[in-house]
Structure 1
Amino acid sequence: MQEPTGSTRSPLQQTSMQAKVAEELRQMIISGELPPGSSLSEMALSQNFGVSRTPIREALKQLQIEGLVEVRPRVGTFVAVPSRREITELFQMKELFEGAAARLLALRGNVPEVEQLDAAMRAADEAVRKGDPERYEELVHEFHDLIVVGADNSKLQAHYRTLMNQLAYARLVRTSLAQPGRLSESDHEHHHVLDLIRAKDGDGAERVMREHVRRSHQALMAEMDKERYGS
């Protein structure tokens, strides 16, 4: 609801409102609801969220720090459009984080996350059989998230979350899975990673997880080139 004209909020309320606005905008960008290049007008956002422009401005500053928003002086504020180099660098970091997470999870043995991965893979197999990329996309996020959580390393998890926000990963997964044959390839690669985790093979789990991330990156770039050049 629009706050009354002339109303005042305590500093604590302003901070809370800023955090809420930042989180909602963050999710809208990550999901693709606000696509790359979208204009972010403080006035329009203020009206949409029913708040003053101050928490909007502060939220946008926070998202700029996270790499999700780009401010162009004397032009405006926009959802960031990552360059190919930025995407490549972020995927290189993703490979390191997820490879390490797979190793750590494998070394922990039969922990609850391993059983949850089994359940996620059964659901993913069904999505592949039905040719349901939307459902499979959801399960991709669940699979990778379970591996990172299962690593049981809070520092790794915190840095990984920041990286995933910068990647706007959901949108990129959707693009990579559009590559012909990638759905079943991705599912097979996930099974290989899980087999090595269950075998408590930390070296193998890290190696195969890193290979999987590289293949995902390759599929993404190939599909982006197809969209760009129309081939």
Structure 2
Amino acid sequence: MNLPVNGAQSQNKRMQLSDEAASYVRGLIMSGQLRPGQHLRQEQVAAALEISVTPVREGLLSLRAEGFLQLQPRRGFVVAPLAPADIRDLFIAQALIAGELAARAATTLTEEQIAELQALQGGIDEAASNGNTDEMERLNHLFHRMVNTSGGSGKLLWFLGFIAKYVPRRFYATIGGWPDASLHDHSAIVRALASHDPEAARRAVTDHLRHAGDLLADHFASSNLDAAAASAPDGAVPRS
């Protein structure tokens, strides 16, 4: 028996692939591996992600709408201008929302949840000592997710998730000083939450995310200077 093709499933799959392509290229741009003015070939992105060109083009068009890419005649997609200040602004917005969620979480977290956060931080410390940056990133995501979801606001959480997609998680290990920030800055966050001090929690989370934004902005500026000096091949895309 021949079954009809589920067009909705096919469309959803393509949207997922286009989101993956957009996330991948966005991360390359934010982490300085693709620099402003560099030509981006759709075929290279498709090969790096092992997907077809169609969802890649859709993903790149969404990045054009976000202002990360430009579509130029006879050149195709080109990385749009991006300044370190733009990166800091994204993290300032993230810090404001996450700080509010942390302040609310400080009044709602139970002792068991505090213990779970401490256990997550212990895991981050252990992963750092073993040089396992992938595990650090995974536990760091769980740490912040627990704090954010305990803030009790679905709307703020949605806005935070929208902003947080600009963080290049895929290239976490390439950002100098970022793993150390998860080790040291989290201590102040845990102390504030364990003390059920809303303002201290707000301040600790805000300072942490601003710190992360400074690290990424500095890395971005340095990477672009290095790339310009080395004259990297136009359109080169690292493999996923």
- With normalisation by structure 1, the TM-score equals 0.73
Worse overlay, 69-78 or 82-91: 69-78
- 1:30 and 1:152 map into 2 onto residues whose CA distance is 29
Aligned partner of 1:29 in structure 2 is 25
Whole-Å separation in 1 of the counterparts to 2:64 and 2:116: 35
In the aligned structure 1, how far is the partner of 2:179 from the partner of 2:194?
Answer: 23
Q: Which residue of 1 aligns with 2:206?
A: 210
The structural deviation recorded for 1:145 is 2.4
**What's the CA shift for 1:228?**
5.0
Aligned to 2:51: 49
Question: 1:127-162, CA deviations, whole angstroms, 9 ceiling, x for partnerless residues?
Answer: 233344443233323322222222232111211122
- Where does structure 2 lack aligned partners over 5 or more consecutive residues? 227-240
When residues 50 and 227 of structure 1 are mapped into structure 2, their CA distance, relative to the original with a 3 A threshold, is: closer
Do the aligned residues in 1 keep the contact of 2:87 with 2:216 (CA within 8 Å)?
Answer: no
User: Partners of 1:112 and 1:70 in 2: how far apart?
Assistant: 45
2:185 corresponds to:
189
Query: Contact conserved, 2:40 with 2:78, CA < 8 A, in 1?
Result: yes
Aligned to 2:72: 73
Deviations 1:169-215 (A, max 9, x none): 443x4344x23xx6445412202101211221111100111112222
Aligned to 2:40: 39
**How many residues end up aligned between the 2 structures?**
216
Match of 1:156 in 2: 156
The change in CA–CA distance for 1:142 and 1:170 in structure 2 (over 3 A counts) is farther
Q: In the aligned structure 1, how far is the partner of 2:215 from the partner of 2:24? A: 24
- How much does 1:221 deviate? 3.7
For residues 153 and 193 of structure 2, what CA distance do their matches in structure 1 show? 16
Q: Which runs of 4+ in 1 moved over 6 A?
A: none
Deviations 1:107-127 (Å, cap 9, x if unpaired)?
213176544322210101212
**Greater displacement, 100-109 / 139-148:** 139-148
Q: Give the corresponding residue for 2:122.
A: 122
Aligned pair in 2 of structure 1 residues 117, 66: CA closer, same or farther (>3 Å)?
A: farther
In the TM superposition, residue 59 of structure 1 has moved relative to its aligned partner by 3.9
- Report the counterpart of residue 139 of structure 1 in structure 2: 139
Q: Distance in 2 between matches of 1:124 and 1:166?
A: 22
When normalised by structure 2's length, the TM-score is 0.71
Q: SS where residue 72 of structure 1 aligns?
A: strand
Q: Deviations over 1:20-47 (max 9, x none)?
A: 2223213433665995357242797499
Paired residue type of 2:122: R
Change (3 A) 1:223 1:166: closer
- Structure with more relative contact order (C-alpha pairs < 8 Å, separation 6 or more): 2
| Aligned partners of 1:96 and 1:210 also within 8 Å | yes
Q: Mark the CA change 1:99 to 1:45 in structure 2 (over 3 Å): closer, same or farther.
A: same
Task: Tell me: CA distance 1:86–1:221, structure 2 relative to 1, closer, same or farther (3 Å).
Answer: closer
Cross-structure match for 2:197: 201
Letter of the aligned partner of 1:120 in structure 2?
L
Distance change in 2, residues 1:82/1:91 (3 Å)? same
